Structure 1
Amino acid sequence: MRSGRIVVAALAAGVLTLAGCGGDGGTTPAGSGPGGLKAPKIDKLASLGAGEGAVNVVSWAGYVEDGSTDKAVDWVTGFEKETGCQVNNKIAGTSDEMVTLMKTGEYDVVSASGDASLRLIYGGDVAPVNTDLIGNYKDVFDGLKNQKWNSVDGQPYGVPHGRGANLLMYRTDNVTPAPTSWSAVFDPASPYKGKITAYDSPIYIADAALYLMKTKPDLKITNPYALDDTQFQAAVDLLKQQNELIGEYWSDYTKEVQAFKAGNSVLGTTWQVIANLSKADGAPVEAILPSEGATGWSDTWMVAAKAKHPNCAYLWMNHIISPKANAGVAEWFGEAPANKLSCAQTGDKNHCATFHAEDEKYFEQVWYWTTPLAQCVDGRTDVTCKDYAAWTQAWTTIKG
């Protein structure tokens, strides 16, 4: 198994996919912006015309493969021949880089993760999407459509690409009994001190907030990405306490695989694809979705507000979520595909079962990564929440 998402080995603070949903699942319709925040008025493409001959793309590694990485992995060449749109791809290492690149006006479409999505929408850098012009959109799982991370006031701002959950992985020969809760990584008396690992990113603060939301109801946290001063401080304090248990924070998937194989790490956050790779490499590990649920991610293809090649951009978005292409990306990247017809197209016929692609009950327990904003994303207007800049500053102090 290969994973384009993590071959970059530098996701860290960058790969943050957004959502405002969670315990009630990914089915809550998008409403107005948090705290009354409004997206700039930008017209969406009214009709699809002839391709302009090129499309300039910003993507995560593994999303736009043309056979140069592996001859058997290519969903670009056929698209170029069919449409005449030459794909010029720029790989981004972080969401901050994606936002910066999209602000240059040189790119037409981006595979935006969550912390990038809201900034791009409210910054006027991406346009609402006319899904009537994207034939394959109808086959995208309903749980990914019209959500708070890809829509505003019910208007889609992108095309869902895939999704996954942040899981709890443990070595079965070291960790007994088998954990069922995130308490395993937050217990200050843990017998695994020095061998616990956590995701190296400010967005990991949401994992602590989710745990507190389930275990400290007096904090009244209703969304792990909407934290007022008191709630935020509680999460930060928990993570500072956890820091004493951490052997290392990870952002490079290869290092996490190696750490679990060597036994330097025996317990901590992971992705399903990393668990699969670890098992394939001989590590005795299992990965679970804990009783409190988990954070997770779902990326979105978005078109630039001033795209120079809008028709090719739409043709690309339709292609990349087509059953065959989306299946190819999902397997290579290590995620659940967005197109429900893709499950019949995967080389590994167990892929969708492994990644819970068709299991909405599973994803109802996932709080997709969301950009923290000062305008609380849980809808509160009587308080100010900590924005992503505050999360970034806090993460530095947490790690020491």
Structure 2
Amino acid sequence: MNKKLLAAPIAMAAALGLALTGCSTDGGTAAGGDGGLQIDVPDVPMMEKLGANEKELNIVAWSGFVEPAWADKFTADTGCVVNRKVAATSDEMVQLMRTGEYDLVSASGDASLRLIVDGNVQPLNTELIPNFGDDIVEGMKGQLYDTLNGNVYGIPIGRGANILEYNSEVVTETPDSWSVVWEKDSPYAGKIAAYDSPIYIADAAIYLMEHQPDLGITNPYALDQEQLKAATELLKQQNAMVSEYWSPATNVTSFTGGNSVVGTSWEVLRKATQDEKFKSVLPKEGATGWSDAWMLATDSKSPNCAYAWMDYTSAPDVNGAIAMNFGMGPANGAFCELSDEAKAHCDYFNATDEEYYKQVWFWTTPIDQCLDGRTDVKCTNYQDWTNAWATVKG
């Protein structure tokens, strides 16, 4: 492992503008599979065998996922020249993949389901990806955001939770609930940080699942009109208390500059504050989170290079390099045993702690079909959430 990668998460986090991933529907639990749910998707064929590598590979990726430190070796080994396009948001990734100019994307859950349902990506033959094996952490296999109707559409890269960060010099008692950011009597009103994205509606839904059970929410990404209305009202209530709606580029300065003292964050961003007074906790209600996966374009011009890349980056050392560079738990748990440095990284990001991630609802795209299995109502989709978010922000 290149020790220079240790410093990279801070720089990478400051450069990102992400809207990251996932969800599940395993009887209402956070970290689970599709629960037998069938979703209508286009019938796209899967590759049965590999052929000769093409000359180049065009990838849409988050900043920090495709770097010369590992891409150059891949090119030397395979002859596939890697061309990287950095995307700032999941919406941008979806738009780029729909142009037909890219082979692979490092999709997050709020992008991946859209790509699958619209037929933009193809199911993957995992037998052609040897490193997609026993060492991939169980909680990143078979998730609804990249595995549908028995078909795998995404090869896991890494994951993280959206934790509650707080300034312990101001928030002197460790909070155990998200109530400090949602309830209008919060003593920290005016100093609360919130994530700037429609997918943040799911955070409100998780809080309502616990505190307003009569709403009947069992999956924060499966909201009917009334449930979405309730979440939107809670967000509007919070809006009056928010100091800043953050992107990864502004989260750190919001806390270190004193503009915010409590709010949603990522472990890598909390770590980037480089001050022991900033602490974090996963509250009792659970949390949203994100998980990224490589996905192959339906009309890829370089599918053999793409399969080679997915296998190469799933190996423990390369997957770990990506995870350390970005700041997340790696998908390949074997990385955690490679060195003391790797173990420390995995411990910090709870990489192999499935009990921890059972409390996390990974971001995924809300669609008309209810992801909680209901068939008697139509659920709200991502456009509905985008419209609702506009009313929250004013």
> What TM-score, normalized to structure 1?
0.93
- The answer as to whether partners of 1:137 and 1:318 remain within 8 angstroms in 2 is yes
| Among 342, 345, 354, the residue aligned to 2:338 | 345
What is the match of residue 391 of structure 1? 385
Cα RMSD (Å) of the superposition?
1.5
- Supply the distance in 2 between the matched residues of 1:108 and 1:46 (Cα, whole angstroms): 18
What pairs up with 1:138-177 in 2 under 5 angstroms?
Answer: 138=133, 139-177=135-173
Quick one: which amino acid aligns to residue 193 of structure 1?
A: A
Per-residue deviation, residues 269-328 of structure 1 (Å, max 9, x unmatched): 0000011111x2x36111100000100011110111111111000000011111111110
- Supply the distance in 2 between the matched residues of 1:188 and 1:80 (Cα, whole angstroms): 55
| Among 300, 305, 308, the residue aligned to 1:312 | 305
What is the match of residue 198 of structure 1? 194
SS of the residue 2:301 aligns to:
coil
**C-alpha deviation, 1:256, in angstroms:** 2.0
Residues 1:379 and 1:21: Cα distance change in structure 2 (over 3 Å) = closer
1:103 paired to 2:105: no
- The answer as to whether partners of 1:111 and 1:299 remain within 8 angstroms in 2 is yes
Per-residue deviation, residues 323-374 of structure 1 (Å, max 9, x unmatched): 1111101111000000111112364431101000110000000000010111
1:207 paired to 2:203: yes
What is the match of residue 24 of structure 1? 29
- Supply the distance in 2 between the matched residues of 1:283 and 1:258 (Cα, whole angstroms): 15
What is the match of residue 79 of structure 2? 84
Per-residue deviation, residues 15-36 of structure 1 (Å, max 9, x unmatched): 2312224763433356343xxx
- The answer as to whether partners of 1:195 and 1:245 remain within 8 angstroms in 2 is yes
What is the match of residue 62 of structure 1? 64
Quick one: which amino acid aligns to residue 82 of structure 1?
A: D
What is the match of residue 350 of structure 2? 356
- Supply the distance in 2 between the matched residues of 1:324 and 1:243 (Cα, whole angstroms): 43
What is the match of residue 334 of structure 1? 327
- Supply the distance in 2 between the matched residues of 1:392 and 1:87 (Cα, whole angstroms): 34
Quick one: which amino acid aligns to residue 105 of structure 1?
A: G
User: Which has the larger displacement, 266-275 or 143-152?
Assistant: 143-152
- The answer as to whether partners of 2:103 and 2:297 remain within 8 angstroms in 1 is yes
**C-alpha deviation, 1:264, in angstroms:** 1.7
What pairs up with 1:249-268 in 2 under 5 angstroms?
Answer: 249-253=245-249, 255-268=250-263
Residues 1:365 and 1:331: Cα distance change in structure 2 (over 3 Å) = same
Quick one: which amino acid aligns to residue 59 of structure 2?
A: V
Sequence identity of aligned pairs in percent? 51
- Supply the distance in 2 between the matched residues of 1:242 and 1:64 (Cα, whole angstroms): 37
What is the match of residue 128 of structure 2? 133
Q: Which consecutive residues of structure 1, in runs of 5 or more, have no partner in the other structure?
A: 67-73
1:296 paired to 2:292: no
Paired residues, what number? 384
Residues 1:117 and 1:341: Cα distance change in structure 2 (over 3 Å) = same
- Supply the distance in 1 between the matched residues of 2:201 and 2:32 (Cα, whole angstroms): 24
Residues 1:384 and 1:25: Cα distance change in structure 2 (over 3 Å) = closer
Per-residue deviation, residues 240-289 of structure 1 (Å, max 9, x unmatched): 01111111110133x222221232210000000011111x2x36111100
Quick one: which amino acid aligns to residue 91 of structure 1?
A: V
